[in-house]
Structure 1
């Protein structure tokens, strides 16, 4: 953890380009359920894919097994200097707020760095934010496929350093309902209270 702590206070310039999220996602007036604060070309139903990945406890799990309840899905990596920890903490806080209102929502962290993010590393990382956070990793091909399903761009800057490299990636969080149905996304500047309110609205609309 020592090297990671050093990086946490370092520059995040290499991933700052992606901090604003996807270019094709825009925060504006919603439609449909009346809960949405965002729109996307092609509709939110264009996001998502079935998968089988490895959970932080080493178990292989399918997308149906993971998304058995409303979930806040985020793509990041454990060596991330500051963006991923902040976003993961925000997502965990939103889930905790919803839990206080009697709504069970889980957080899911899919790595974009499967080379370093083994199940054991993910277990240590997710435990920093929530006992209920699910961490998922897999082969390079599996991780590429699931990122493609949610249109998540990522690129490892490892040409010169195979150990302490950073990874460019997008930073949106997606609300995935049971059945792998993606209904909403949140940019990284969305406060946990606003996120919780929007998620609660979607849950109420599908109840």
Structure 2
């Protein structure tokens, strides 16, 4: 039988074969993905600035109760920048430390220190009643707006600010609370401006506050 030459070998088109067809598909996918991202970033409010859209969406409406029993909403706070922190009165460390720090930073700003409000929201409504919260914030020697509310109303504001909190059972039936420790800075228009972190220097925190109250 006469031998015949074998058919030339043609490799399969795989991701690492360098096939022009594979490269073409990759380009198509990248272009489609880019268009999709462009649509998402421009959706919703119609703003072309994602950072601006995020600032407008952050925070949102809430209804809470002040120590004197009055109702406080996001509209109550409008017109003046504020620094808002979430915690509870029995917190042994980060809550009193953070509130004392904000009082100190306000004093360091001199006359400008009263150009923003300090707001403390208790995430422990089972223990922190409005009057108790008022007594607590009074310990820091500077005006602080203490707020609390029902579980449902606290869940609403926590969701708006992306705040985490959860009870941690303790021996004997008591509990403590794990919670987000950041201080959120909000403009007079109710837009997110930034955060003050527990680990950053006072100099950095003061600069953020100066930008907030300009």
Q: TM-score, normalised by structure 2?
A: 0.69
Aligned-partner Cα distance in 2 for 1:189–1:181: 24
Tell whether the 8 Å contact from 2:59 to 2:190 is kept in structure 1 after alignment: yes
Task: State the number of aligned residues.
Answer: 163
1:130 paired residue number: 141
Q: Which has the higher contact order (CA 8 A, sep 6+)?
A: 1
1:12 paired residue number: none
2:97 paired residue number: 86
> Is 1:144 matched with 2:155?
yes
Aligned-partner Cα distance in 2 for 1:75–1:81: 14
Further displaced range: 69-78 or 102-111: 102-111
What SS does structure 1 have at the residue aligned with 2:133? helix
CA gap of 1:43–1:119, structure 2 versus 1, over 3 A, is: same
Question: RMSD across aligned C-alpha pairs, in angstroms?
Answer: 2.1
Greater helix share, structure number = 2
Q: CA deviation at 1:53?
A: 0.6
> Is 1:55 matched with 2:56?
no
Which of 162, 177, 186 pairs up with 1:176? 186
Tell whether the 8 Å contact from 1:74 to 1:173 is kept in structure 2 after alignment: yes
Structure 1: any 5+ residue segments left out of the alignment? 1-39
Tell whether the 8 Å contact from 1:112 to 1:154 is kept in structure 2 after alignment: yes
Aligned-partner Cα distance in 1 for 2:107–2:181: 20
2:40 paired residue number: none
Q: CA deviation at 1:109?
A: 0.2
Tell whether the 8 Å contact from 2:58 to 2:161 is kept in structure 1 after alignment: yes
Which of 173, 177, 185 pairs up with 1:167? 177
CA gap of 1:54–1:101, structure 2 versus 1, over 3 A, is: closer
Which of 206, 210, 214 pairs up with 1:200? 210
1:26 paired residue number: none
1:98 paired residue number: 109
Higher Cα radius of gyration: 2
What SS does structure 2 have at the residue aligned with 1:128? helix
Q: CA deviation at 1:43?
A: 4.1
